[in-house]
Structure 1
Amino acid sequence: MGALSKVVQFSKKYPISRGILAYTLVFPTSCLIQQTLAGNKWETLDWKRVFQFWLYGTFFLAPVGYGYVRVMSKWFPHSDIKTTIKRILVDQATYSPVMTSSFFGGMALLEGKGVEGAKNEISQKFLPTYKTGLLYWPIVQTINFTYISENNRVPFISVCGMAWTVFLAFMLQKELKKVDVE
């Protein structure tokens, strides 16, 4: 048995591995793309930030995304347009705001900003990010829930998430307004 067929067999036996592999590649790559677009050269790349993106994507987002896809498939097992609309509404009302907050809070904690820093990141960056996501994710999720098989939904979302994660990296690096803490 060849190496590729072993990988395929492993991913069928452990479907979470597909999402972990996808996010392991997508999150740090997106961070590198954002830094490059911001003008960084190889010598000035922030490798600590790339590592933090890898940690977050691999060990938090991939397992949570896998569980979420499984739950959504059980709650909404059909692939018709009515079910797709329900899925998108639930997705945008629950998963999207939770994951947007988790990203800014989790990354702030990984950066050593503490709980107050995480709260500040969320309070300042959540709303503009969430509003932008409302323009992007319903389209992606319509394709995902309508045309993509359950086994391939997490990898599909992670690939579509590449552009989104570049945007998240951009939002993350934006300077915060100074907030008086009393």
Structure 2
Amino acid sequence: MMRRSNLRGIGQRCFLLFWEKKTLSDAGVLLETSLRAKQLECPPSVRYYHQITKTKHQKISHPSFEPFSSPSFSSLNSSSSSSKMGIIDWYLRKLESHPVLTKSISSSFIFIAADLTSQMITLEPSGSFDLKRILRMAMYGLLILGPAQHMWFNFMSKVLPKRDVASTLKKILMGQAIFGPTVNSVFFSYNAALQGESGPEIVARLKRDLIPTLLRGAIYWPICDFLTFKFLAVHLQPLANSSFAYIWTIYLTYMANLKGVRTA
């Protein structure tokens, strides 16, 4: 039989190992090694303690044992994130396979949303939405602005391919000097022509509305263009430009649908 002093000494060493933040298996290994070294017969109580130690260690070290995990919550998060990534991946694939069409459709939807918002702001309580106006805005984004953005941003990436501060500032200046006046002039002329205005009336509208619009755009667009040119790849720049244009288009559609200027 094992002496009580030997058993007490082994137990103390096991307790010290556990107290020093070592694993329970280390204490079990020490116990088994000590017993074999002394060629002592292990009592049933010690064998039972060692078996419990091995079982606990196996449960703790098992890779699939996660006592604080919530499978349902984890699967819900992973499914929602994978769904979002799926939509983004689908959109990026469409940008690669059909760049002009994808950018044009995106621009059209943004113009629809912006014009709806603009009408809601100015709509009288008993009024209704102007569906012809919404259609005009949708066709402008689809047929004119979407392709124009694609060509402009691709041109800028070839002329000024770098994204440093100097190149970005040059792109902003070119946008304010060339792209902005061009697309705004086309927008006012296109919208006025579809409303039945004559050539002189369109010219009078441009004289009245174009300069104030460009001056306000010079305050808003440089910040948006800096973020777009500096931090985004060229194939994502039209989408960012259209997204920034959502707020701008609310104002733009309001200006474009003001009453025309009477000419003598």
TM-score calculated relative to the size of structure 2? 0.63
- Give the corresponding residue for 1:101: 185
- Give the corresponding residue for 1:122: 206
Matched-pair contact (CA < 8 Å) for 2:94–2:102: no
Deviations 1:105-135 (A, max 9, x none): 1111122213223222211110110100000
SS of match in other structure, 1:44: coil
State yes or no: 1:153 paired with 2:244: no
State the alpha-carbon separation in 2 of the partners of residues 83 and 55 from structure 1.
33
- Give the corresponding residue for 1:67: 151
Matched-pair contact (CA < 8 Å) for 2:95–2:103: no
State the alpha-carbon separation in 1 of the partners of residues 249 and 231 from structure 2.
23
The amino acid across from 1:85 in the alignment is L
State the alpha-carbon separation in 1 of the partners of residues 187 and 165 from structure 2.
30
Deviations 1:31-80 (A, max 9, x none): 11100000246961100000000111110110011101110110100000
Which residue of the other structure, out of 177, 194, 216, is the alignment partner of 1:110? 194
Stretch of structure 1 that moved more, 57-66 or 107-116: 107-116
Describe the shift of the 1:124–1:33 C-alpha distance in structure 2 as closer, same or farther (beyond 3 A): same
Q: Which has the larger Rg?
A: 2
The amino acid across from 1:35 in the alignment is Q
State the alpha-carbon separation in 2 of the partners of residues 61 and 33 from structure 1.
19
The amino acid across from 2:230 in the alignment is T
TM-score calculated relative to the size of structure 1? 0.90
CA RMSD of aligned residues (A): 2.0
State the alpha-carbon separation in 2 of the partners of residues 133 and 86 from structure 1.
17
Matched-pair contact (CA < 8 Å) for 1:34–1:170: yes
* 1:174 Cα deviation from its structure 2 partner: 2.5
Describe the shift of the 1:70–1:165 C-alpha distance in structure 2 as closer, same or farther (beyond 3 A): same
Deviations 1:11-34 (A, max 9, x none): 212222331121120112111110
State the alpha-carbon separation in 2 of the partners of residues 50 and 42 from structure 1.
19
Q: Which has the higher contact order (CA 8 A, sep 6+)?
A: 1
Stretch of structure 1 that moved more, 129-138 or 13-22: 13-22
Describe the shift of the 1:134–1:8 C-alpha distance in structure 2 as closer, same or farther (beyond 3 A): closer
Aligned residues: 179
- Give the corresponding residue for 2:162: 78
- Give the corresponding residue for 1:45: 129
State yes or no: 1:16 paired with 2:89: no
Question: Structure 2: where are the runs of 5+ without partners?
Answer: 1-85
State the alpha-carbon separation in 2 of the partners of residues 146 and 103 from structure 1.
27
- Give the corresponding residue for 1:174: 258
* 1:179 Cα deviation from its structure 2 partner: 3.1
State the alpha-carbon separation in 2 of the partners of residues 45 and 179 from structure 1.
29
Which residue of the other structure, out of 172, 176, 179, is the alignment partner of 1:88? 172
Identity %: 24
